[in-house]
Each structure stands twice: as C-alpha cells, then as structure tokens.
Chains A and B, each alone.
Chain A
Amino acid sequence: MKVNQKQNFLKGLIKENPVFVFVLGICSTLAVTTSLESGIGMSLAVIFVLFFSNVVISLIKNIIPNDIRIPVFIIVITTFVSVVELIMQAYLPDLYDQLGVFVALIAVNCIILGRAEAFASKNNVLSSAIDALGMGLGYTIAICLVSIVREVLGTGLITIWGNAKINLMPIFDFFHVKPSAFFTSNVGAFIVLGIVIGIVNAIVFAVKDKKEKIKKEVKANG
C-alpha cells in the first residue's frame, strides 16, 4: 500500500505532469511566469485549492447525484478559490495585484476540475489528497521552470520572494550580452513555453528509448 501511495504522489511530477504531458492550465502558465515570485505565489494558490477541493469532493462523492456532479465540483472549487482570493487580498495585496484576474480564474483551471473528475470522484480521501499534492507539485515545477527561464533572459534577475533576488547580471556582462524584455512580453511567453515543452518531450523520449533498449538487451542475453 505504501509503495502505491508513493507512486501516486510521484506520477504528477513527470510522468503525468499536468502542464507538460496533459497540456492543462496553459493560460495561467503563460500569464503568471513573468517572474519566479508570481509563479511561486500562483503555484501555492493552486496547490491550496487543488488539495482542499480534492479532499472535499472525495468525501462527498457518494452523496452527489451523477447527473449534476460537474456543477457541484465547480461550486466546491470556486468556494476555495474565493477563500484564496480573500486571504491574498488581506495579507499579500502586492501579489494579488500582480496576478490580477488569474486568481479568480483558478476556478476554471482545467487541472483542478480534471483531477476532481478523473481522480477524486473515484478514490478515497487519502489517495485524493496525495494525488492533489503530487499534481500541485508537478504544476509548480513546470511554472518555476518556465518563469526562471523567462525572468533570467528577460531581466537578468531571479526574484524569489519580495527583496530576495539573485543577480545574474555578471554572467550576462561576462558574455557581453544584455537581457531582453522580449522574454517577459507575451510573445516570449509562447516561445519559451513551446521550447520548454519540446525539450522536456525530447528528454522523455530519449529516456524511454534507452529503457526499451535495455529491455531488449536483457531479453537477448537472457
């Protein structure tokens, strides 16, 4: 059972990564990745909503009539989105302004509704909670990867949180190049995300090929 839960957690990171493999939640991935700080803020909000909506939906899955399950899921999800919105407005107003309308749009983020429909409505509470954490972390990995690439190439800085910044300008100076605002613009978002997904795909394909080769060799030898 324990091994099973571990796999359940790890599948969201790479093998079933919601952004890279299922291409869900692309809108927010494109919009909030201008700096690592807003990426981390968005990921935390998504993990919060995903975790609680998965747990609640898994708890009430036997009471919901099958015909109206989607509206019920949406109400549960949106309730937690409102909670996040209010908390952010109260304690992190700067981050809330930066993310803007995309906090409210977590309500229609396909990752969350997708996990509710595909996983939480069929599994017990513990598995659903672990699934939510794994998927949330997978989303975080994707967002952080894209936002680091965009922020470094766009501004030469990495903003971790508030004033905690890593300055990479010396590296740019060493090569006599300048960061270009192109990468933090909307056009840069599409290009960077496209190339990152392509590279991740290339790595996944290469690993798969290698595994198959090893399998074949084992078969040939044995």
Chain B
Amino acid sequence: MANLITLAFGALLIENVLLYRFLGFCPFLGVSKKRSSAVGMGLAVIVVIVLATIVTWALYHYVLKPLDIVYLQTLTFILVIAALVQMVEMFLKKVVPPLYRSLGIYLPLITTNCAVLGVASLVIAYEYDFLSMLIFSFFSSVGFFLVLYIFSGLREAMEQAPIPKPFKGTPIALIATAALALIFARLGGII
C-alpha cells in the first residue's frame, strides 16, 4: 500500500510527465495560453491516457506477449490510441453533447500527444502490474492537468509583462517552465 502511495505522489509531482519526463510538450505550449482551453485539454488528456493505458497494457500482456510479437508494440499502440481517441470523440458527441462541444476540438490533437504513447510505453518498460499501471496512468495524467492549469495562469500574467521581443512567446514560456520544474522537483521531501 505504501508503495502505491509513493508511486502516486511520484507520478503526480516529482516525476511529473511534463516537467520531469518531457512528455506532451507540444500541446502544453499550444493550449496553455488561455485557462479555459487548458482545463478542456487537461480533462481530455486524463480520460484518454487512462483508457489508452488500460487497453494497451491488456493488449501487450494478453496478445503481443503470448504470441511473441513484442516488436509490433509501437505500431499496435499507436493504432489503438488513434482508434480510441476517435471512439471517445464519437461517444461524447452522441451521449454528452455539451461536454463534446467543450472538449471536442482538443481530442484529435491528443493522438499526436506524446504523453499518451509515452505513459503507455513506460508502463510496459517498468513492468507494472494492473493496479500499479492504473495508479501510474491516472496520477501522471492528473499531473499533466495540474501543471497545464498552473502554467496557463502564469502565462496570462506574462502577457502583461514587458519582455524583450526575441524572448516573447516560446523562450519565456520555457524559462518560466524551468522555475515551475524547480519547485516541483523540490517537492520530493514530502514523501
């Protein structure tokens, strides 16, 4: 049990997907300009990462491994993720239209979000069992949401700051991320 709590906090804060593992950075820079879009993207990412990791984990352990075709891992995982994203999109459109309207535009972007494939591959590389996999994927994606939300607030404030022209946009965003990464890295003391 203690192990699982450590795993959860590690995935959420210290070894954060964005700040420690550098996964999912393209959408991070893209959608963190506004707080509302950050929330939408963050929620969509949580849903897709957890679902995709469960499905790919099962696929790896019950299909790829018994058949001894592990070298197809990347190819099958990416197809599963793309199909899953499409299915989540169709499901939301049919069943919860209001949610679809707010999350819809972020879903196609998630297929090429490396955090999804990254978490799915990490779970395999670390040889997690089912419960650890579930906790790792959930808290990793919540960590993504958390950082994205904090950073969108920072970015709105940075819009007003007098920043030299060459450093506007991406460079200052990266430097601000460094400060955030420093804070998150030091949270290791709470475990």
Contact = CB atoms under 8 A, between A and B. Distances in A.
Interface of A: 23-28, 30-31, 70-71, 74-75, 78-79, 81-82, 85-86, 100-101, 104-105, 107-110, 113, 185-191, 193-195, 197-199, 201-202, 205
B11 to A, nearest CB: 15
B29 interface: yes
A101 B78 CA distance: 14
Contacts of A78: 74-75, 78
Nearest to B18: A27
Interface of B: 19-26, 29, 71-75, 78-79, 82, 111-114, 116-118, 121-122, 125, 164-167, 170-175, 177-178, 181-182, 185
B140 to A, nearest CB: 13
B25 A86 contact: no
A107 B166 CA distance: 31
B174 A191 contact: yes
Given A26-B26, A197-B171, A105 B178 contact: no
Please classify the interface of chain A as helix (H, G, I), strand (E, B), loop, or mixed, using the class held by over half of its residues. helix
Contacts of B74: 78, 81-82, 85, 104, 107
* Interface-centre pick from B26, B73, B125, B173 (highest chain A CB count, 10 A): B26
B26 A110 contact: yes
21 contacts: A70-B111, A71-B79, A74-B82, A81-B74, A82-B71, A86-B71, A105-B23, A105-B121, A187-B185, A190-B181, A191-B174, A193-B174, A194-B173, A194-B174, A194-B177, A195-B171, A197-B174, A198-B171, A199-B166, A201-B171, A205-B165
Contact of B178 (A27, A81, A194, A199): A194
Contact of A194 (B79, B121, B172, B185): B172
B174 A110 contact: no
Contacts of B111: 70, 74, 108
Highest count of chain A CB atoms <10 Å: which of B111, B114, B185:
B114
A190 B26 contact: no
B79 to A, nearest CB: 7
Contacts of A199: 166
Contacts of B173: 194
Contacts of B122: 101
A101 B125 contact: yes
A56 B86 CA distance: 25
A26 B178 contact: no
Contacts of B73: 104
A192 to B, nearest CB: 9
Given A190-B177, A201-B171, A101 B121 contact: yes
